[in-house]
Chains A and B, each alone.
Chain A
Amino acid sequence: MRQKLARVLGGVAIGALVFSGAACKADSGSEAGGGKAACDLKIGFFGALTGDAAGLGIHMRNGTQLAIEQYNKDNKDCQVKLEQYDSQGDPAKAPALAQQAVGDSKVVGIIGPGFSGESEVADPIFDAAGLPTITPSATRPSLSTKSWKVFHRGVGNDTSQGPAAGRYIKNVLKAEKVYVVDDQSAYGAGLADEVKKVIGTPVGYDKIQVKQTNFSAVVTKITSSGATALFFGGYYTEAGLLLKQLKGAGWKGTMIAGDGVNDANFIKVAGQQVAEGTILTCPCAPATKAKGSFVTDYKTAFNVDPGTYADVSFDITRIMLEGIKAGKTSRADLNSFINSYNGTGSSTGVTYKFESNGELDPAQVIVWAFKVNAGQVVPDIEIPKA
């Protein structure tokens, strides 16, 4: 009995020590926030760096990395470090990584999470810890309705992208028979729903699964439906495979997909001939036409053209860096800095101003259509607003 009691007391004592330790840490953090700029702070990048959709995440990470490297060059005595959290785009891996980021008191802001599914599980954790986030790419509309105080979206959401894709199908492609397929992910299903609102009843609608590889049943349905256009809500691996099998079965129509497919890896999976002519949308301007020295800087640093959202990531990282420079070095201070931010991004030219729910000011949202041409994703047109 005595022994048991001693153990319990010991446990309580250890718990108290840990707790007071954490409290001390928090105190020192806020002290630094009030005074001069604290150094060796970290900005986290949270997204897919390996896995099926890594092509998208790597460009965003590169944008963030470039912004931080440039900042460090100008601020040699007070550097900021990039901390990478590779979620593989997988909602199942996100919570543990988010906890890890929250637990590192040096991390004052997160760029990401990259995708909508992982945002749904990671953002509540960031919110509870008051760790500010700006996502360059998670476009599911409902993310801004969860009243997360730390949520900011640096691009438009799928209520702008989806209808724009729908308008493109209706007004530019003039396709009447449209088939819609989604991958049942938070992003893909949401985007497909927005498209359906604009195009009316599709000739057919089916769901596939993320990581599915054999699409013969849905291929049969699409070819027999006589559809001349296919809208796909999902990411590039499944999109590439589906299109490859569809074209292999003799389908001649055009595939339209969203920003989750807007990546050079889509062509790598599908093959150049198959991918040719595919239309990809993005609630962003072409990264290859970004302003200032961004495109050349990016090419020098990474030896590749900037991909989707690289420029957005660059600009939103600079918002956080500006905040740190201005002495907003605690999580809470940085969050309110972002909330009240109003400035133009140097590479996108977008005026970053967030609404109270974290959405980008709707006046700033533009949607572009891109086209696969000769093995490259090239800008097609800016889709006009309704």
Chain B
Amino acid sequence: MNFDELFGNFPALTITGLEQGAIYALVALGYTLVYGVLRLINFAHSEVFMVGTFTALWTWEAFGYNQNTAAPAFGPLIVALLAGLAVAMVASAATAVTVELVAYRPLRRRNAPPLAFLITAIGASFVLSESFGIGTERAPYGMPTLIPQETVFTLFGAPITNLQLLILGVTLIMMIGLDQFVNRSRLGRGIRAVAQDPDTAALMGVNKNRVILLVFVLGGLMAGVAALLWDVRFGFTKFNVGFLIGLKAFSAAVLGGIGNLRGALLGGLLLGVVENYAAGLFGGDWKDFTGFVLLIVLLMFRPTGLLGESLGRARA
């Protein structure tokens, strides 16, 4: 164990952990929303994220940026970022909706048992990831460096970079926006109603299928945002990039309480930070080990996660 490494770099490990955790949290929202409404773990969500990372890259390539071009000036940068963001969000949402329409809705119509959904979810995940794998020759793709990292200020000796501020800022805005949407808007009320009691909601005139579609769209949009942030920060994608992120994001969702939006944020940030501390304390090879031990121990004491399942029970 290397306590010097942990305490010496504590602030820096915290901030980079939060940054990674923010991306986990955005992806975790997709799992949590779908689970909250359908009691279904949408394993294909990791591929929704992957599609976002690729489509953003292709957008930038269409603008003439590649991994070797220098960072653009402020004006073109904003255009490139917004265009990448829009395309990634639309593509991710479209992927999520396609998965719902092709893999889940037909089964729901036939009252298939939960196990069947699990298999189609895994199947959809494989089909998407493998088709990208074949199409891209399973090669890793480097991203253009759109925003070079620069230290904006130093906090307790940890350099805080412009990218970290961007990621944390965007994540917070998206989370608050989504939380308000679900808790305050008419459509959000529909989501909560279906999450609480689908049959009664249907009797009250809520269109269940439309709500389900909306949930997939929202999850896809968030995954698209996460994909863009990932591209800007980590600068790379490949066909199976979603696998590990998906697994971590799903864990984050469970950690925070699956079905709970604020739980997804809390779980994501916590997992990101704990992983980083573990890498500092025990070395990089113990990162995942520690993350999952934390998950198991926490679930022993709080089986429903930190904040409990509550998409349906959120205040009206």
Contact = CB atoms under 8 A, between A and B. Distances in A.
Q: Do A and B bind each other?
A: yes
Interface stretch (A127-135, A157-165, A211-219): A211-219
Given A50-B137, A269-B236, A217 B284 contact: yes
B171 interface: no
B3 interface: no
Interface string A87-109: 01000000000000000000000
B9 A220 contact: yes
A250 B238 contact: no
A155 to B, nearest CB: 25
A272 B234 contact: no
Contact of A240 (B142, B159, B240, B275): B142
B179 interface: no
A268 interface: yes
A213 B244 contact: yes
Interface in A24-73: 50-52, 54-55
Interface string B30-48: 0000000000000000000
A271 B68 contact: yes
Range of interface residues on chain B? 35 or more
Given A207-B283, A224-B9, A217 B238 contact: no
B138 A217 contact: no
A272 B12 contact: no
Interface residues of A, number: 39
A273 interface: yes
A345 interface: no
Nearest to A225: B5
A224 B157 CA distance: 11
Contacts of A221: 5, 9, 280
B27 to A, nearest CB: 13
Contacts of B140: 52, 237, 240, 265, 268-269
A248 B148 contact: yes
Nearest to B137: A50
A213 B234 contact: yes
Which of A240, A245, A248 has most B Cβ within 10 Å? A248
Interface string A215-236: 0111111001000000000000
B129 interface: no
Interface in A174-219: 184, 206-209, 211-214, 216-219
A209 B148 contact: no
A54 B139 CA distance: 7
Nearest to A215: B284
B119 to A, nearest CB: 22
B241 interface: yes
Given A217-B275, A241-B235, 14 more contacts: A207-B283, A207-B285, A209-B284, A209-B288, A212-B284, A216-B16, A220-B13, A220-B16, A221-B280, A237-B140, A248-B235, A270-B67, A270-B142, A273-B68
6 contacts: A184-B285, A209-B284, A209-B287, A224-B8, A240-B142, A268-B139
